[in-house]
């Protein structure tokens, strides 16, 4: 009985920590993919950065809790001399599962804008 308690004190926090890292990576990668997709969507001819914001929000809402997303912002930018679009998502990830104060992070999606030339 004592051995079980001693081993559990080490193994349970280790297991929960691994789960938390996995959850963080899943959320961050999902938001990164959505930002990239939103930037590509906004880079199509006759679309605006706001269209990329809406597309990113649509993709994120189906997968990640809305409370985790602080802001989504689409902007025109310059990518190596070419017109481009960047979608910036600011979010946070609580350290205890999906509750508690958050660890803030920012991800960006970039795309070169199509031109009519």
Q: pLDDT for 92-110, tens place per residue?
A: 888 776 566 678 999 999 9
Residue 117 lies in a domain: no
Other Cβ atoms less than 10 A from the Cβ of 30: the count is 16
Residue 82 lies in a domain: yes
Beta carbons of 110 and 78 less than 8 angstroms apart:
no
Residue 105 lies in a domain: yes
What is the predicted pLDDT for the residue at 32?
95
Beta carbons of 84 and 78 less than 8 angstroms apart:
yes
Residue 34 lies in a domain: yes
Other Cβ atoms less than 10 A from the Cβ of 84: the count is 19
Number of domains in the chain: 1
What is the predicted pLDDT for the residue at 33?
95
Query: Residue 36 belongs to what domain range?
Result: 2-112
Residue 76 lies in a domain: yes
Question: From CA 79, how far away is CA 98, in angstroms rounded?
Answer: 36
Residue 85 lies in a domain: yes
What is the predicted pLDDT for the residue at 16?
85
For the cut 80, the answer to whether the pLDDT of residue 51 exceeds it is yes
Residue 36 lies in a domain: yes
What is the predicted pLDDT for the residue at 65?
83
Model pTM score: 0.83
Handedness of CA 11, 15, 16, 21 (dihedral sign): positive
């Amino acid at each position: 009985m004592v051995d079980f308690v001693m081993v559990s004190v080490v193994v349970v926090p280790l297991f929960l920590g691994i789960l938390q890292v996995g959850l963080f990576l899943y959320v961050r990668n999902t938001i990164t993919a959505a930002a990239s997709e939103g930037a590509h969507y906004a880079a199509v001819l006759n679309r605006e950065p706001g269209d990329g914001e809406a597309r990113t929000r649509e993709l994120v809402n189906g997968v990640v809790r809305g409370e985790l997303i602080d802001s989504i912002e689409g902007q025109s930018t310059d990518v190596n001399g070419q017109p481009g679009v960047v979608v910036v998502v600011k979010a946070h990830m609580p350290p205890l599962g999906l509750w508690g104060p958050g660890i803030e992070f920012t991800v960006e999606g970039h795309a070169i804008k199509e031109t009519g030339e």
